[in-house]
Amino acid sequence: MKLLNFAVIKLTVCLILGIILSYYFEISLYIALSLSALCSTFLLLFLILAKKQFKETVWFGLTAYATLISIGILTTSAHNQQNFKNHYSYFISSNNKALSTITFRVREVLKPGTYHDKYVVDILEIDSNKVKGKSLLNIEKDSLISPLHVDDLLVSRTPFKDLKPPLNPHQFDYKNYLAKQYIYHQIFEKNSSLLKVESNTKTLLGLADKIRQHINTKLKSYHFKPDQLAIINALLLGQRQDISKTVYTHYTNAGAIHILAVSGLHIGIILLILSYLLKPLEHFKHGKIIKTILLVGLLWSFAIIAGLSASVTRAVTMFSIITIAANLKRPTNLYNTLAISMFVILLFKPLFLFDVGFQLSYLAVFSIVTIDPHLYKLWQPKNKILDIYWHTLTVTIAAQIGIAPLSLYYFHQFPSLFFVSNLVIIPLLGVVLGLGIIIIILGIINILPQFLADLYGSIISVMNAFIGWISHQETFLFKDISFSILNLLMSYLLIISIYQFSTKRNPQTLTFFLISVLIIQTALIFNKANPSSDEFIVFHKSRFSLLGHKTDHKICVAHNFENETATTNNIIKNYVVENHLETIEEDSIRNIYQINNKYLFIVDHLGIYNIKSIKPEYVLLRESPKLNLNRLIDSLKPKYIIADGSNYKSYINQWETICKERKLPFHQTNKQGAFIIKY
């Protein structure tokens, strides 16, 4: 089937192209509006001409695609509140120490950090100016004070702080992640400094949060264990904040993390349950229409309660379209349904396109729709139980084929026992979800028998224990796999060529397959023969020193860690994986490093720098040496001064002041990140 023969798929591709252009080239709202108006005008003119000539011209088609691209650009610009003059960033001082009186409303409760409870807040006022925009709120943890809830209205006098980029190469970029949610600043506060204000304004998200709170209050009275309650919240309420790091890691390593994210699998099962319960309505006049309205309404009510995440929004949108088409007896094509749901979602949430969960869920469904029918035909057992497990296996393999390259690119690991965990959990998930809905309903109306609650808790515990056992089979978990964007593209090229050849064997598909194999081999040989440039890195590591010297396909690491090695350190592991390095060597920290034709001299806590044989280009200060920096500069005449994370902040501030006075470049890794010397 040639997918691009479907008009809606072409239009969705054009919309995606517009979103990508707007995101990476930061096209202004004025240009986006002008471009959309111009394209729409031409489209209308060509439409009038086409009607008069009773045929569509090539120009009409091209203009339609250009219009969709411009709409993608416009919707991306329009959703970025920074493009409007009432965004809070235009009302705050460039001086981060300046205090502002801020009024904000809690929008979303995030997973707490080590020292702070975290929230996304809507900024409403700054110094009596009405504003809009979202920010990250960090509140110091206090066990004596209850956490905030969605829709809580608060006033504080505090400065906004910039979000920090990653301090080391190839670390997770939390700043960029938040920017895709239109969050550009953060606030740090104590509970004692927040003034809670009474407000009659209630939002849809606030109502959903109150429903979740009410459900959890009722369930807690039935003595569910913390891990059990956390899984119930994830499976049925779409909230994963309370899942412990251990349990989350187990599900990740077992290849079953998708079970904890409310997605197409969960929505499909819930839709089947609701359809069965509402089936009697079909016997009444207009019963099918009423049933359709109720199904769609219930699905979206569930989506709101689950927090409208990218995965649940995608799944509910797609199943809403399927439900409407099925109950109105309209033929549906699953590719069209996928494209329409994506089109609708991206119109309202354009940056969902860059959400990893959104990408994985669409690829998984697309792969299931495309590949599963062919795998299932390989064997069709007559036994119903065998058939269920065989189909579960083919669906799981089809989904994994689609998402494996993207998972390797983002997470650099492959759980080879994914089919075991899925074969056990997925067939039982319908029972877990169905029983969970009954548990919640009975719990809310206070008629839930304790034995039933205990039984459900035991089922959750057994499921967690099984997943934990799978995750501990580390022999079958492949970690730290180097996988670049080129590997990603080559993998999908190979998958497409194999699929084409296996479904339609002819000279053309064989040629395509052989060419794809040749391209992949060429790319791999090129990567092997042309490694990235050599470099010396002063990494940032709080309270320690960490140096790396990369040459060809290896890195020599020097550090002063107490209970950690270079191979287990995440900073080094991330660097090694992303740079496709094969060897890690460890060494002690030396005083002098020769980097090509230049020298780096290290001054440690002893403060000794009497050298006459060389003139270092770089001087690295570590372990807070007590020295006269002016005298050192006069003696060594370096061109750069570097201070790593092992130094006291007070010392770093003094050194920075001296270097500014002497107009000498000063690099502090705790603010500017790792210092990299390429050669």
What is the CATH classification number for the domain harbouring 130?
A: 2.40.50
pLDDT the model gives residue 6? 60
Residue 178: pLDDT band by 50, 70, 90 thresholds? very high
Do 182 and 353 touch, CB atoms closer than 8 A? no
Portion of the chain with pLDDT greater than 70, in percent: 96
Q: Tell me whether residue 230 is in a domain.
A: yes
- Looking at the predicted structure, is the pLDDT value of residue 496 above 80? yes
User: What is Dmax (Cα atoms) for the chain?
Assistant: 98
pLDDT the model gives residue 364? 87
The amino acid present at 163, given as its one-letter code, is L
Return the higher-pLDDT residue of 634 and 528: 634
pTM over 0.75: yes
Residue after which a domain boundary falls, among 55, 79, 103: 79
pLDDT the model gives residue 545? 95
Residues 55 and 167 in one domain: no
Q: Tell me whether residue 190 is in a domain.
A: yes
Calpha distance 94→104 (Å, rounded): 20
Residue after which a domain boundary falls, among 30, 60, 79: 79
What does the pLDDT average to over 396-418? 88
Residues 305 and 400 in one domain: no
Q: Tell me whether residue 403 is in a domain.
A: yes
Residues 159 and 197 in one domain: yes
Q: Tell me whether residue 421 is in a domain.
A: no
pLDDT the model gives residue 619? 96
Arithmetic mean of pLDDT over the chain: 87
Enclosing domain of residue 508: 485-527
Residues 154 and 283 in one domain: no
> At CA 488, angle to CA 265 and CA 169, rounded to 5?
105
pLDDT the model gives residue 317? 85
Residues 571 and 674 in one domain: yes
pLDDT the model gives residue 426? 80
Q: Which residues contact 5 (CB under 8 A, 6 or more apart)?
A: none
What does the pLDDT average to over 608-616? 84
Residues 550 and 565 in one domain: yes
Residues 548 and 666 in one domain: yes
Residues 604 and 494 in one domain: no
Helices 334-348 and 310-327: angle between axes, nearest 10 degrees: 130
Calpha distance 552→534 (Å, rounded): 6
- Looking at the predicted structure, is the pLDDT value of residue 343 above 70? yes
Residues 471 and 492 in one domain: no
pLDDT the model gives residue 286? 78
Q: Tell me whether residue 133 is in a domain.
A: yes
pLDDT the model gives residue 626? 92
- Looking at the predicted structure, is the pLDDT value of residue 1 above 50? no
Residues 25 and 68 in one domain: yes
Residue 54: pLDDT band by 50, 70, 90 thresholds? low
Q: What confidence tens digit (pLDDT) does each residue in 134-169 have? A: 999 999 988 778 889 999 999 999 889 999 999 999
Q: Tell me whether residue 11 is in a domain.
A: yes
Calpha distance 300→467 (Å, rounded): 30
Q: Tell me whether residue 443 is in a domain.
A: yes
Residues 224 and 345 in one domain: yes
Do 584 and 567 touch, CB atoms closer than 8 A? yes
Specify the number of domains making up the chain.
6
Residue after which a domain boundary falls, among 79, 113, 129: 79
Residues 124 and 160 in one domain: yes
- Looking at the predicted structure, is the pLDDT value of residue 628 above 90? yes
The torsion angles phi and psi of 542, rounded to 5 degrees, stand at -60, 125
Portion of the chain with pLDDT greater than 90, in percent: 40
The least confident of 173-187, 245-259, 577-591 is 245-259
